[in-house]
Amino acid sequence: MMEAPSGKKAAHKQIRLNLTPIMDFLMVVIFYFLWVSNPHVFKEIFSDVPITSDEEPKTTTPPLALTLKIENKNISLFSGVPEKLIKSFPKQSDGNFPLEELHSQVLQIKKNNPKEKQIILNPESDISYEEIVKIMDSIRMRRNTDDTILDDGQSVEILFNDIIFGNIQS
Amino acid sequence: MSGRKSARLRRGKRGGESSGGTIELDITSLLDATVIILIFLVQTFNSSGVISSLHSGIVPPFSDSKVINHPGVNVEVSSDQIWVEDKLVVDDKTKMKTDHDGRRISSLFDELDQKRQTVQLVEKSSPEAKKFTGAINLIVDKSIKYSHLKQILFTCAEAGYKTYQLVVRGASN
């Protein structure tokens, strides 16, 4: 007949939990959460209120006054005072604006005017906010694949990020 | 207590060894997991903490902007409603009252004007109070037409908010 283990012996027996499998599983779960989690965070695009002034400009050089008129089927890029059309960008057959073409044109203008940062947007009433943001994205920053623009020996990363909605009072 | 016995006790305490029924846990893998969780939390933590949640029906457009959002008065705009700091100021866009030839939204202007006055009043009363910056966070649904956005921009400008911060969705890095 076998004897039951004494309490003294049981008390001395060490219990060692093997946590390795559960930790492995936990790591898989964490990677899964990382994968499915929404990586989008909130960012910002700045814009200032347009200010009209009767004061004479301080500099004698004529302003670039880059203006983007956004219509339902066409984007027109103007410059100067009075405004002069630089180029039009009609919507493509797929219903999208040729934003790459617009970006290249704006990049070219920036190369000739590296200190300029301001652009005026005049969208039409029925343009969606999403469309406006896409257009703003194409004119705000230089991309890694673009040519380098130098200003006083320094690389310029910003194209035209001082965006003003020119027609909010109309 | 003899010297040998006390040394054994000290060794037992320091090493976590059992002196009868004590469970010894191997926490190496637990620490590994904790480190990964910490990295995850640090990565997803929004240090600006300005905007944490949105009202339903608002999906800001996606943008490649890398500028994190800054403090300002939060104005949320859905296709029908407008909130100022979680307070509903326009319940139905079709019934909202406007002035200045339909360019200014009355209830939005009143709320923003009141907020500006409050901040400016506090600013005068204490030199350490937060200054009025005139910055406004516009959290606008991507489907909104420019005609409505223009009304909001005009109303904000009229209420003294001169810096628009258009809140968009961006990539985390």
Which residues of A are less than 8 Å from B171 in CB distance? 39-41
* Neighbour count for residue A162 (Cβ, 10 Å): 14
High-pLDDT (> 90) share of chain A, %: 39
CA distance B113 to B159: 5
Distance of residue B144 Cα from the nearest chain A Cα, in angstroms: 6
- Interface probe with B: pick from A35, A71, A142, A168, most Cβ of B within 10 Å: A168
* ipTM (interface predicted TM): 0.74
| Nearest CB neighbour to A127, from listed B21, B32, B146 | B146
- Interface probe with A: pick from B168, B172, B173, most Cβ of A within 10 Å: B168
Residue B12 — pLDDT band, cuts 50, 70, 90?
A: very low
User: What are the tokens at A104?
Assistant: 């290249």
Which residues of A are less than 8 Å from B153 in CB distance? 49, 165, 168
Q: Do A14 and B37 touch (CB under 8 A)?
A: no
Least confident of A123-132, B6-15, B124-133, B164-173: B6-15
Sign of the CA dihedral with B53 first, then B57, B60, and B62 last? positive
Residue A28 — pLDDT band, cuts 50, 70, 90?
A: confident
| Nearest CB neighbour to B29, from listed A19, A42, A48 | A19
CA distance A168 to B10: 78
Q: Do B69 and A137 touch (CB under 8 A)?
A: no
pLDDT, tens digit, 9 for 90 and up, residues A83-106? 899 999 999 999 999 999 999 999
Q: Do B167 and A44 touch (CB under 8 A)?
A: yes
Which residues of A are less than 8 Å from B135 in CB distance? none
Longest dimension (CA), chain B: 97
CB-based burial label for B103 (10 Å; 0-12, 13-18, 19+): middle
Which residues of B are less than 8 Å from A72 in CB distance? none
Predicted pLDDT of residue A80: 85
| H helix or E strand, kind and range, residue B4 | helix B3-15
Q: Do A127 and B145 touch (CB under 8 A)?
A: yes
Predicted pLDDT of residue A13: 67
Predicted pLDDT of residue A83: 85
CA distances from B103 to A168, B40, B96, B152, B157 (A): 8, 46, 12, 8, 11
CA distance B64 to B61: 10
8 Å CB contact between B149 and B142:
no
Sign of the CA dihedral with A87 first, then A90, A94, and A95 last? positive
Mean pLDDT over B75-95 rounds to 92
More confident of the two residues A138 and B25: A138
CA distance B107 to B111: 6
CA angle (B30, B34, B36) in 5-degree steps: 120
- Nearest Cα to Cα of residue B154 among B167, B131, B132, B136: B136
Residue type, B157: A
Residue B9 — pLDDT band, cuts 50, 70, 90?
A: very low
User: What are the tokens at B23?
Assistant: 């469970």
Torsion-angle region of residue A153: left (phi > 0), alpha (psi -120 to 50) or beta?
A: left
High-pLDDT (> 70) share of chain A, %: 84
Res. B34: pLDDT tops 60: yes
Predicted pLDDT of residue B8: 46
Mean pLDDT over A116-134 rounds to 93
| Residue in the structure block whose two tokens are 């790591």 | A27
Predicted pLDDT of residue A153: 85
Mean pLDDT over B90-105 rounds to 90
**Residue B168: closest C-alpha in chain A:** A43
B106-125 and B146-158 helices, crossing angle to 10°: 30
Which positions ≥6 away from A161 have C-beta within 8 Å? A45, A46, A117, A140, A141
Predicted pLDDT of residue A52: 67
- Interface probe with A: pick from B50, B116, B166, most Cβ of A within 10 Å: B166
- Nearest Cα to Cα of residue A149 among A139, A159, A134, A140: A159
Residue B114 — pLDDT band, cuts 50, 70, 90?
A: very high
Predicted pLDDT of residue B141: 95
Q: Do A15 and B153 touch (CB under 8 A)?
A: no
User: What are the tokens at A75?
Assistant: 């984007």
pTM comes to 0.75
CB contacts < 8 Å between A and B, how many?
158
More confident of the two residues A63 and B86: B86
Mean pLDDT over A117-125 rounds to 93
- Interface probe with B: pick from A41, A51, A135, A146, most Cβ of B within 10 Å: A41
